[in-house]
Structure 1
Amino acid sequence: MSVVSLRGVTKRYGDTTAVDDVSFDLHENRIHGLLGRNGAGKSTVMRMLTGQDLPTSGQIRVVGENPFENAGVLRQVCFIKEAQKYPDIFLARHALKSAEMIFPNWDAEFAEQLVDEFRLPLKTRTKKLSRGQLSAVGVIVGLASRAPVTLFDEPYLGLDAVARQLFYDHLLADYAEHPRTVVLSTHLIDEVADMIEHVVVIDRGRIVMNDSADNLRSQAVTVSGPTKAVERFAAGHTVLHREDVGGYARLLVSGIPEGRDTTSLQVEPVSLQQLVVRTAQLSDSVLAGAANGKGELS
């Protein structure tokens, strides 16, 4: 069942189009990855989902309703972002207490456990917390809120590798016991790749991928070997990336050619990060070609 739905959503700021005719669904009890580069439109989408921005056009529904100025919807949505701001007078414990008052599914015992594990100083003012400690406040709120729709917009970037792994472990364990719709927006794709069940990739405000992670991984391969043999294998398929060394080539091929001769070739699965990065680079190349007169930009 779809919990979040966008249909033909566009968001403009003056002459800048941040989100351009975007449509996709986020389904109940699933971990989604909202991926893309800085400025791609990810944070704008999340702000619209949480009623902080209105779309210029199109329709947004969260748990079946428009989220803008809708307290009933927003109590079911937890949005945690990088560099989350709190009032200067707040201690860390005040931030958690405020979350407890907002979210009806708040688990105080779980929050206390996370405070201990992330070593969060509850009596320190939030403005005095380090970047890592502020990130810990955010992920604790996001996990302990148990909101039906939980959005993480890279709040864990401030955490060191050990603390990030702690977050991932707790997210998976708690999600297994208390399923909900989770959205992870991140640049650290390899770190979260095994957690993500559905992938939405946005680039220059447009959706360039929208599919299950398993389907995406099954639709591309990396093939390497003698150049001519590699090219015969890839003929008729989109090449997302190419490397040439002497008489050998290595190609990332979209689509898996069937019935091709693989003698002398090495065919390997592609990682989610490779697929996302190379697809975005291909999109850039197409746009650059259009801008250079090889096509038209709409």
Structure 2
Amino acid sequence: MSFSVSLRDVTLTYGDTEALSDVDLTLAAGKIHGLLGRNGAGKTSLLSLLAAFRKPTGGEVLVDGRPVWENVDVVSRIALVREGGDFDDTDTVKSTIETGELRPSFDLEYAHKLAQRFEVPLDKKVNQLSRGKRSVLAAICGLAARAELTMFDEVHLGMDAPTRDAFYKELLAEYMDRPHTVILSTHLIDEVANYLEEVVIVDSGRVLRHDDVEAFQGMGATLTGPADAVDALAAGLEVLAEQRLGGTKSVTVGSALDASARERAAAAGIEIGPVGLQDLFIHLTNPDRTGA
């Protein structure tokens, strides 16, 4: 079973600070969603509302079509895993993992299997773990929760590159084995781009853009070829970046090319490539562009 998510005209304030403002967002059940935003954009605040860690100042937060606040039946089937985990540092890894059995769907056998695979020693105390191993422990608890809605908020921080890669692959394998709803909040956009089905970009407490990955992939283009020909084709387009090596130039533009432009590119010997999700994110959240 998978949970859908819906936020309707949601605001969240901390004193005089408005962390989220007029957020309307619907996430389909059974997909892997990427939640992207610059520091302070409101990502963690949004996830905390979905996990019922906080009550919205205004609006309505629904999970599985039901209000999430003070709804034990729904909350018990939601897992929010934050960087470093919310652990008692004096507990052992073994007892920390076993605490997960408070959740109705927690798979202890799977958690122990993951601990062995990622070489997290069960007999050590949490405060004896390195930052990377502590992050892995948090990821293990999130995966083994077997929740209908699982959210990872920068849980990869502290992991080295091979461990992050193994975590992403395990996440995908668990998702394929048991379809559910996943939200990944991350700054390592290029690393997770291939795992995402939909992307939400949050900027200054508002949803800036929400679309499937294919829509983002079609937003821009990279033009590479003879410098003069590239400059001519890019004239009038929004240039995001450019590089030059001798007589060859590469220009990244922020808009898709129509059929006519593609024909001119082919005739001029210009190669057209896609723009990475991370580059598009940087462009879309540029304060000079959005006025943020």
TM-score when scaled to structure 1?
Answer: 0.88
In the alignment, the residues of structure 1 paired with residue 54 and residue 231 of structure 2 have an alpha-carbon distance, to the nearest angstrom, of 48
Deviation of residue 235 (structure 1)?
6.0
Does structure 1 conserve the Cα–Cα contact (< 8 Å) formed by 2:234 and 2:253? no
**Is the aligned partner of 1:112 residue 2:117?**
no
Determine if contact 1:234/1:257 at 8 Å carries over to the other structure.
no
Question: Cα–Cα, structure 1 residues 176 and 89, in superposed 2: closer, same or farther, change >3 Å?
Answer: same
| Alignment-derived partner of residue 243 in structure 1 | 242
Aligned to 2:200: 200
2:126 corresponds to: 126
In the alignment, the residues of structure 1 paired with residue 252 and residue 115 of structure 2 have an alpha-carbon distance, to the nearest angstrom, of 46
Give the 3-state SS of the residue equivalent to 1:122 in structure 2. Answer: coil
CA shift for structure 1 position 241: 0.7
The separation in 1 between residues aligned to 2:285 and 2:271, in whole angstroms, is 25
What is the match of residue 293 of structure 1?
none
The equivalent of 1:85 in structure 2 is: 86
Residue-by-residue CA offset, 1:148-169 (whole Å, 9 max, x unaligned): 0000001111111121111111
Which region of structure 1 is more displaced relative to structure 2, 151-160 or 9-18?
Answer: 9-18
CA contact (8 A) 1:230 1:251 kept: no
- In structure 1, what is the Cα distance between the partners aligned to 2:162 and 2:290? 39
Q: Quote the residue 1:135 is aligned against.
A: 135
Q: Corresponding residue for 2:289? A: 286
Q: Show CA shifts across 1:71-110 (max 9, x none).
A: 11111100000132322432111111111222x2222221
Structure-2 residue corresponding to 1:254? 255
Partner in structure 1 of residue 53 of structure 2: 52
Identify unmatched segments of 5+ residues in structure 2.
Answer: none
In the other structure, the counterpart of 1:36 is 37
Counterpart Cα distance in 1 of 2:224 and 2:179: 41
Equivalences for residues 159-178 of structure 1 within 5 A? 159-178=159-178
State the match for 1:67 in structure 2. 68
Does 1:222 pair with 2:227? no
The match for 2:27 is 26
Provide the alpha-carbon RMSD of the alignment: 2.2
Deviation at 1:127? 2.1
| Inter-partner Cα distance in structure 1 for 2:148 and 2:251 | 43
Q: TM-score w.r.t. structure 2 length? A: 0.89
Indicate how the Cα distance of structure 1 residues 226 and 17 shifts in structure 2: closer, same or farther if over 3 A, else same: farther
Task: Report SS of the residue matched to 1:33.
Answer: strand
In structure 1, how many angstroms separate the alpha carbons of the residues matched to 2:239 and 2:46? Answer: 26
Residues 254 and 280 in structure 2, CA contact (< 8 A), matched pair in contact too: no
CA distance in 1, matches of 2:185, 2:159: 15
Equivalent residues of 1:233, 1:257 under 8 A apart? no
Q: 1:206 to 1:69 in 2, by over 3 A?
A: same
Contact 2:239/2:251 (8 A) holds in 1: no
Q: Quickly say closer, same or farther: Cα 1:25–1:116, change in 2 above 3 A.
A: same
C-alpha contact (below 8 Å) 2:132/2:159 kept by paired residues: yes
Q: Is the 8 A contact 2:62 2:68 kept in 1?
A: yes
Q: Which runs of 5+ in 1 are unaligned?
A: 289-296
Aligned partner of 1:176: which letter? M
Q: In 2 relative to 1, CA 128–244 (structure 1 residues): closer, same or farther, beyond 3 Å?
A: closer
3-state SS in 1 of match to 2:254:
strand
Percent of aligned pairs sharing the same letter: 38
Cα distance between partner residues in 1 of 2:224 and 2:58: 46
Runs of 4+ in 1 over 3 A off after TM superposition: 224-237, 244-249
Question: CA contact under 8 A between 2:85 and 2:137: conserved in structure 1?
Answer: no
Q: 1:112 to 1:240 in 2, by over 3 A?
A: farther
What SS does the aligned partner of 1:200 have?
strand
User: Counterpart of 1:73 in 2: which secondary structure?
Assistant: helix
Q: How many residues align?
A: 285
Range with greater deviation from structure 2 (226-235 or 62-71): 226-235
Residues 223 and 251 in structure 1, CA contact (< 8 A), matched pair in contact too: yes
The amino acid across from 1:144 in the alignment is A
The 3 A distance-change label for structure 1 pair 164 and 286 is: closer
Report the more deviating stretch, 9-18 or 63-72: 9-18
Q: AA paired with 1:40?
A: A
